[in-house]
């Protein structure tokens, strides 16, 4: 059975980030915490949302690179053949 929420130390261990990085994410508003007394908790659904944002960003960057790659390759080939523009 998975926990409903993680303590800061558990979250950092699971997602392999430092406590300093954790608190930077909280400060930047990218990660939301719950306060229960003096304890800070991260709901499991919030942790999954936060981690899913990295996957989306990486996928978007990969897609961007893939769509740009053919143009760069064509320019490089033309330059090697001496047919590229002289800009």
- Report the candidate in 35, 30, 7, 37 with the shortest Cα–Cα distance to residue 19: 7
Are 22 and 31 in contact by the 8 Å Cβ rule? The answer is yes
Per residue of the chain (87 residues), what is the pLDDT tens digit? 888 999 999 999 999 999 999 999 999 999 999 999 999 999 999 999 999 887 666 566 665 555 555 555 666 666 767 765 555
| φ, ψ at 86 (rounded to 5°) | -100, 55
Q: Which parts of the chain are beta strand (E)?
A: 5-7, 34-36, 39-43
**Which residue in the block uniquely carries the two structure tokens 């064509």?**
74
For residue 73, give both structure tokens.
């390759």
């Amino acid at each position: 059975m998975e926990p409903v929420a993680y303590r800061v130390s558990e979250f950092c261990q699971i997602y392999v980030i430092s406590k300093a990085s954790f608190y930077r994410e909280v400060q930047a508003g990218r990660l939301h915490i719950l306060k229960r007394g003096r304890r800070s908790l991260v709901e499991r659904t919030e942790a999954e949302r936060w981690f899913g944002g990295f996957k989306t960003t990486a996928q978007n960057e990969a897609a961007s690179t893939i769509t740009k790659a053919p143009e760069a390759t064509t320019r490089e080939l033309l330059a090697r053949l001496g047919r590229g523009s002289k800009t």
